[in-house]
Structure 1
Amino acid sequence: MPEGRCLNSHGKVAGLDELPVTTLKGVGSRNSEKLAKIGVRTVQDILFHLPFRYQDRTRVVPIGSLRPGDSVVVEGEVELADIRFGRRRSLLVRLADGSGALTLRFFHFSAAQKAALRRGSRLRCYGEVRPGPASYEMVHPEYQSLSEGESPAVEECLTPVYPTTEGMHQLSWRAMAGRALALLQANPAALPEWLPESLLQRFRLPDLAAALGYLHRPPPDAPQDRLISGSHPAQQRLAFEELMAHQLSLRETRLRQKRLDAPVLLAQGNLSRPFFARLGFTLTGAQQRVLQEIAQDLAQAHPMMRLVQGDVGSGKTVVAALAALQALEAGHQVALMAPTELLAEQHLRVFRQWLEPLGLEVAWLTGRHKGKQRGQLLEDLAGGRIRIVVGTHALFQSDVAFHALGLVIIDEQHRFGVHQRMALREKGGGSAVPHQLIMTATPIPRTLAMTAYADLDLSIIDELPPGRTPVATVVIPDSRRSEVVERVRSACVAGRQTYWVCTLIEESEALQCQAAEEATRMLQEQLPELRIGLVHGRLKAAEKEAVMAAFKAAELDLLVATTVIEVGVDVPNASLMIIENPERLGLAQLHQLRGRVGRGSVESHCVLMYHPPLSQNAQQRLGVMRETNDGFLIAQKDLELRGPGEVLGTRQTGEMQFRIADLVRDQPLLDEVQDAAQLLLEQFPERVAPLVRRWVGDRQHYINA
């Protein structure tokens, strides 16, 4: 059946994306359920499910030429078969071909199997060569018995090995891929080539069907090293098309945004002028440039969607405050949303300090507001009496309504789900959509920004305010804990303040808090002369706030904390940070934590106290922290070492789940991908939607946020 023509209900050749896997002979309902678990539902999905390595069964290799680590086909005569009783009972079969001899070792075997492997019988085997006690060995090789004079044909192409799921054998994958390829060969129109010939030639790309055929059935001389690394032109062809589809879907989102109506927020200056007069410091050139970009966006009749990146301490908050003032001057409301209460409280304090002297009340809304207090707050928001509100995810709950929401500021947006962002966007009231200003102190590598955030305009605050000192970082084992404790004593006795950060690999907040409580007890015993505070995620907000306020007021010398202090805490007198078990955290998170010190003019230090032994990856990551304070370099290394899902945060990686492309490996393609996407939009707009549907499919809703 697969080799025949498959027609849809309109009598046309059915697309392979329309044909369920059960179209293929041998794939029943049970197997289709297993395949659905890994997202393989159609014949097209089978074709895009590529092998991750290959076996060479295209030639018989002389036993005398074998090397350890080779996976090869050998053929020979059994010289002896014997059962050995050692630590484990095993069947040893000696196979020779005239050029040398090899031992086949079986731990699981039957009496019938031993009888079949008698002296003088001929075998063809496939397996991995390993050193053995007396000669090279293959453990549990695949084998077939050969009759006298028989020499069956070897495979004509490399044998693919597919990523699989429980209950799906490699033989099944090979059979399915073979039938899908036969179906494609019989019906080339069933998998249309959406990239035009001119574009294929310009970017030197093979056609789609040829690339798929090559990758599922490579010729014997195919360069396996390139296939395994993903750098073969056939793989790059598919990665190029997939990256292009994602790029186009984000551009479509951007164009849709531009067609929406937003309030025109013109800068009046009646609030920003007195704000500047009271500020007490001058903005950096980078801050002024970004402010100008935001001001121009807010003055447009379509919604701003701008991402502001700035390294730790670069001054994003003052930029956000000035953007808020422009919206307030134009008579609209502003909502600032942060992912944690601690960070939201920090913004609340700063905004009140800056804006209340201008006669602006800053309201506060979290999940803790209940009853009459909450009811009054919601009434005032809906009536327009509250003009600026700071809060957590509580801001987008269904009962929260605004009178005229003009600007939404979202801090550390990658910690929010896509639907949460959409919910705030829909609170503009009437037909207008509020402008969105998104801030992150996690610098996003250019690769990710080009791919995951192509629907946003990007501003970078790439200059630190004067007076910020680089933090010197050391990496030491926890066997030197007593030295570290002494270092803390010296710093605090000298009038400086210190953070001691406890991390645990477990997700359990309870265990993290327990670790911090134990560390506090230990430090209180060893440093009785110091005033020590503790803050963690399970403290009530008021308790947390009291401890943080005491630390900021220098009423505490040492603050023991979990990673809740990662963002939002500003204590210029803190000049030393100890991070326990830093190997358990990503680079971006370590960089955020380290950014809590070095906020004053005194030289600051960060001690990364790890628990040996360190993996090679962990050594590399901690080495990067020791060598640089550049957040963008750190983010790039984080991307290379941990991948995009981790760098962006796991909640919002719907758009990052590539089937074939790899953002680290395929970085060199991105500039050409952008050019190709633009060409397709301009010259072949009718091909955009089917291309996006092929690669993004039902994940499009993630990208439309």
Structure 2
Amino acid sequence: MVSAPALDGQPLACLRGAGGKTQERLARLGIYSVHDLLFHLPLRYEDRTSLTPIGALRHGVQAQIEGMVELTDLAAKGRRALVCRISDGSGGINLRFFHFSAEQRTRLKVGTRLRCFGEAREGYYGLEMVHPEYQVLDSPEAAPLSASLTPVYPLTEGLHQKTLRGLIGQALNLLHLAPGTLPEMLPEAVRQRHRFPVLAEALRMLHLPEPGASPQTLRIAQQRLAFEELLAHHLSLSRFRTQVRCHSAPRLTLSKAATHHFEQALPFGLTGAQRRVIAEIAADLQGPQPMMRLVQGDVGSGKTVVAARAALTALSANFQVAVMAPTELLAEQHVRSFRQWLEPLGAQVVFLAGRLKGAARRETLRVIAEGEAGVVLGTHALFQDEVRFQRLGLVIIDEQHRFGVHQRLALREKGRHDGLTPHQLIMTATPIPRTLAMLGYADLDISVIDELPPGRTPVKTAVIPATRRPEVIARIVDWVAQGRQAYWVCTLIEESETLQCEAAEKTAALLREALPEVRVGLIHGRMKSAEKDVVMAAFKAAEVDLLVATTVIEVGVDVPNAGLMVIENPERLGLAQLHQLRGRVGRGPGESHCLLMYQPPLTDTAKQRLGILRETADGFLIAERDLQLRGPGELLGVRQTGQVQFKVADLARDEALLDAVKAAADALLRNHPERVGPLLRRWLGDAGRYAEV
């Protein structure tokens, strides 16, 4: 007997109704095979297992009804629509269609029996249903009521629920006929311990739940799938970590004399937390395997000097250091800091950016390739093939969530030489919740700088409506009169950088007109780097009183005298980004304020978000709440930015599973290593291959 092919190998074309156009639409949902259809789960359910008498309908309630057509005509008033009146003896209701055809009008003739599903709402003449789903019944026996709840799936343009339900129904039939085509990956002991159903049964329960299915039953089926998906993500990063640990790395140490010279040259003392993290990094660098450490610290905690200290360790052993930042503005900030701290100790620090052209670029590439440049700072430009290092020993990546895993790997590959792989230090000013750290950073050791340098003043945060804009503008006059500086941050919900820059330009012009005595500067992402440098230099030198900016200043801008920030439309940003922006103030002596100026009315979620920011400055607490409200960023980073593409799991909801997931991963690797690859392909697809580099 020939076994049936695995469902992930069965094309959609084997299903009725899955023609070329439908396959194109399904592809937009990430559905390419019968297997993908099974894992495309419902958003919610509708109860079409029974009929509701029309006379019992209530406003705002979804229901399934049957009735005879009494009248079909164009609406007498209001927007042009086709109105069909049906009744069942207990009462009558209007069906209203704003989009209709002549054929539809003909089919809905008097005396026709209809079964409809929709939401009852108040209309011109009592209750009505607008664009209900309906079918013409030749006889009641010809269309029995559904035996299960009706799933409602995520859709894309041109794809209808009826089509998707039909295709998934066929996929479930294939699974029923050949259950071995979807093999179990969870160890039986794990499944029994958690009382999970087998995978095929969990899928059937979620796609076609019985009318009496309890929420708990559906929750267990959902957890069964979420557990396996979380397991796949955990394994992918664990495998990646294991494979990296198989490589050798240069052993790097820093002499006591060099350490003393470095610390003596700093214009400030190191905090206890910084010293602790420096020691953790030093221990890694002395080891024979590549360091893979994430340093997380709240805004202003002093991560950059910790990175510079690590760089000095590599430099002292004649290795080069690559430092990558997501924006030129942040990279330029690092250039100034590294030059200030390392060049007096004999290091050459160079900046490689996309804007560097001609002879200057050729010379920079030469000093990097020949090893004359000790520290190379830049953005994505460091990935380019023409950039060659002579002896790269340490890679430092700032704000790593802005980069994809494949980009991190590309930079590391540049450093492989003589059988050695460079160490990797990753930094983020976005505190990572425990739930995300357990799953999303399983390939990294984690250090936390949980202490702010002395002198940092708490920022007082206020949430105010945009109707108070004149008061805010008046406050800036008083603020500047005291010799202080301020930021005015413009945000737009659109992704278009052009629109954001135009908004900033317009705001700067309005503020210059309203505040003739205040020196207003402007900075945004479309300005040339040289122009941005001039504006930032003027702001730092207190030659600009008020800096109007887009969120380009989220990281990397340090002006201690700027203690006031106004953020327009803060409801359009996430908590983490708002916290980052607020971190630009409170960096010097005196009071600091952040005004969140929103456009009313606020949604409930926006109220929650702004309320959290007003109540706390604890970045880790803010990160936990941001995870709950918005979900995690994409963990494997196959995209450079964006939200995680979990099919089922929700880290905030499923946090309680994570410890068990880790234990299950260990058991699977120990007892069933042959299941790991198929499990990764099932849940991660192409993303899984980044765990196998």
Q: Same fold (TM over 0.5)?
A: yes
Identical columns (%)? 59
The verdict on how the C-alpha distance between 1:135 and 1:502 changes in structure 2, with shifts beyond 3 A counting, is closer
Q: Which amino acid aligns with 1:105?
A: L
Instruction: Give, in whole Å, the separation in 1 of the partners of 2:28 and 2:509.
Output: 48
Aligned match of 2:338: 351
Deviation at 1:411, TM superposition (A): 0.9
Matches within 5 A, 1:76-155: 76=67, 85-87=76-78, 88=80, 90-97=82-89, 100-107=90-97, 108=100, 117-118=109-110, 124-133=115-124, 135-141=126-132, 142-145=134-137, 147=139, 153-155=144-146
Deviation at 1:193, TM superposition (A): 0.8
Q: 2:588 is paired with a residue of what secondary structure?
A: coil
Does the 8 Å contact 1:309/1:444 carry over to 2? yes
Aligned match of 1:390: 377
Q: 1:500 is paired with a residue of what secondary structure?
A: strand
Matches within 5 A, 1:49-448: 49-76=40-67, 85-87=76-78, 88=80, 90-97=82-89, 100-107=90-97, 108=100, 117-118=109-110, 124-133=115-124, 135-141=126-132, 142-145=134-137, 147=139, 153-223=144-214, 232-430=219-417, 431-448=419-436
Q: Deviations over 1:411-444 (max 9, x none)?
A: 1122224333222111214232211111111222
Instruction: Give, in whole Å, the separation in 2 of the partners of 1:196 and 1:113.
Output: 57
Does the 8 Å contact 2:72/2:105 carry over to 1? no
**Which one of 583, 587, 591 corresponds to residue 571 of structure 2?**
583
Q: 1:17 is paired with a residue of what secondary structure?
A: helix
Instruction: Give, in whole Å, the separation in 1 of the partners of 2:143 and 2:386.
Output: 74
Q: Deviations over 1:300-358 (max 9, x none)?
A: 22211111111100110111011111111222111212122211111111111112222
Instruction: Give, in whole Å, the separation in 1 of the partners of 2:328 and 2:460.
Output: 30
Aligned match of 1:522: 510
Does the 8 Å contact 2:72/2:108 carry over to 1? no
The answer to whether the aligner puts 1:691 opposite 2:679 as a matched pair is yes
Q: Deviations over 1:570-604 (max 9, x none)?
A: 12222111222222322222211111110113121
Matches within 5 A, 1:463-502: 463-502=451-490
The verdict on how the C-alpha distance between 1:58 and 1:254 changes in structure 2, with shifts beyond 3 A counting, is same
Instruction: Give, in whole Å, the separation in 2 of the partners of 1:89 and 1:79.
Output: 17
The verdict on how the C-alpha distance between 1:402 and 1:22 changes in structure 2, with shifts beyond 3 A counting, is same
Aligned match of 1:3: none
**Which one of 600, 606, 624 corresponds to residue 636 of structure 1?**
624
The verdict on how the C-alpha distance between 1:126 and 1:267 changes in structure 2, with shifts beyond 3 A counting, is same
**Which one of 498, 501, 505 corresponds to residue 513 of structure 1?**
501
Instruction: Give, in whole Å, the separation in 2 of the partners of 1:546 and 1:79.
Output: 75
Does the 8 Å contact 1:206/1:237 carry over to 2? yes
Q: Deviations over 1:180-239 (max 9, x none)?
A: 22221221211111112111011221110111111121111124x679xxx611111111
Q: Which amino acid aligns with 2:237?
A: L
Deviation at 1:371, TM superposition (A): 2.8
Deviation at 1:376, TM superposition (A): 2.6
Give the aligned CA root-mean-square deviation in angstroms: 2.8
**Mean Cα deviation higher: 413-422 or 435-444:** 413-422
The verdict on how the C-alpha distance between 1:22 and 1:34 changes in structure 2, with shifts beyond 3 A counting, is same
**Which one of 651, 663, 688 corresponds to residue 675 of structure 1?**
663
Instruction: Give, in whole Å, the separation in 2 of the partners of 1:76 and 1:516.
Output: 58
Instruction: Give, in whole Å, the separation in 2 of the partners of 1:38 and 1:157.
Output: 25
The answer to whether the aligner puts 1:20 opposite 2:8 as a matched pair is no
Q: How many residues are treated as equivalent by the alignment?
A: 688
Instruction: Give, in whole Å, the separation in 2 of the partners of 1:68 and 1:200.
Output: 44
Instruction: Give, in whole Å, the separation in 2 of the partners of 1:427 and 1:94.
Output: 72
Q: Which amino acid aligns with 1:556?
A: V
Q: TM-score, normalised by structure 1?
A: 0.91
The verdict on how the C-alpha distance between 1:40 and 1:464 changes in structure 2, with shifts beyond 3 A counting, is same
The verdict on how the C-alpha distance between 1:172 and 1:539 changes in structure 2, with shifts beyond 3 A counting, is closer
Instruction: Give, in whole Å, the separation in 2 of the partners of 1:573 and 1:112.
Output: 69
Instruction: Give, in whole Å, the separation in 2 of the partners of 1:409 and 1:453.
Output: 16
Q: 2:221 is paired with a residue of what secondary structure?
A: helix
Does the 8 Å contact 1:655/1:699 carry over to 2? no
Q: Which amino acid aligns with 1:242?
A: E
Aligned match of 1:39: 30
Deviation at 1:84, TM superposition (A): 5.8
Instruction: Give, in whole Å, the separation in 2 of the partners of 1:393 and 1:118.
Output: 67
**Mean Cα deviation higher: 197-206 or 474-483:** 474-483
**Mean Cα deviation higher: 450-459 or 200-209:** 450-459
Instruction: Give, in whole Å, the separation in 2 of the partners of 1:541 and 1:83.
Output: 62
Does the 8 Å contact 2:239/2:691 carry over to 1? no
Q: 1:157 is paired with a residue of what secondary structure?
A: coil
The verdict on how the C-alpha distance between 1:82 and 1:165 changes in structure 2, with shifts beyond 3 A counting, is closer
Deviation at 1:605, TM superposition (A): 0.5
The verdict on how the C-alpha distance between 1:81 and 1:398 changes in structure 2, with shifts beyond 3 A counting, is closer
Q: Deviations over 1:274-307 (max 9, x none)?
A: 1112224332222122112111111122211111
The verdict on how the C-alpha distance between 1:168 and 1:552 changes in structure 2, with shifts beyond 3 A counting, is closer
Does the 8 Å contact 2:635/2:644 carry over to 1? no
Does the 8 Å contact 2:71/2:110 carry over to 1? yes
Matches within 5 A, 1:622-661: 622-645=610-633, 651-652=639-640, 656-661=644-649
Instruction: Give, in whole Å, the separation in 2 of the partners of 1:680 and 1:186.
Output: 28
**Mean Cα deviation higher: 133-142 or 346-355:** 133-142
The verdict on how the C-alpha distance between 1:629 and 1:33 changes in structure 2, with shifts beyond 3 A counting, is same
The verdict on how the C-alpha distance between 1:353 and 1:213 changes in structure 2, with shifts beyond 3 A counting, is same
Aligned match of 1:570: 558
Deviation at 1:82, TM superposition (A): 7.2
Q: Deviations over 1:347-378 (max 9, x none)?
A: 11111111222222322222233333332322
**Mean Cα deviation higher: 400-409 or 167-176:** 167-176
Q: Which stretches in structure 1 are left out of the alignment for 5+ residues?
A: 1-6
Q: 2:564 is paired with a residue of what secondary structure?
A: strand
Q: 2:92 is paired with a residue of what secondary structure?
A: strand
Deviation at 1:677, TM superposition (A): 1.4
Q: Which stretches in structure 2 are left out of the alignment for 5+ residues?
A: none
The verdict on how the C-alpha distance between 1:157 and 1:386 changes in structure 2, with shifts beyond 3 A counting, is same
Q: Deviations over 1:379-410 (max 9, x none)?
A: 22222222222222222221111121111111
Does the 8 Å contact 1:270/1:329 carry over to 2? no
Q: Which amino acid aligns with 1:369?
A: L
**Mean Cα deviation higher: 593-602 or 171-180:** 171-180
Instruction: Give, in whole Å, the separation in 2 of the partners of 1:704 and 1:361.
Output: 36
Instruction: Give, in whole Å, the separation in 2 of the partners of 1:577 and 1:426.
Output: 41
Q: TM-score, normalised by structure 2?
A: 0.92
Does the 8 Å contact 1:580/1:609 carry over to 2? yes
Instruction: Give, in whole Å, the separation in 1 of the partners of 2:105 and 2:326.
Output: 63
Instruction: Give, in whole Å, the separation in 1 of the partners of 2:642 and 2:115.
Output: 47
Does the 8 Å contact 1:499/1:559 carry over to 2? yes
Does the 8 Å contact 1:91/1:109 carry over to 2? no
The answer to whether the aligner puts 1:593 opposite 2:581 as a matched pair is yes
Does the 8 Å contact 2:333/2:557 carry over to 1? yes
Aligned match of 1:4: none
Q: 2:30 is paired with a residue of what secondary structure?
A: coil
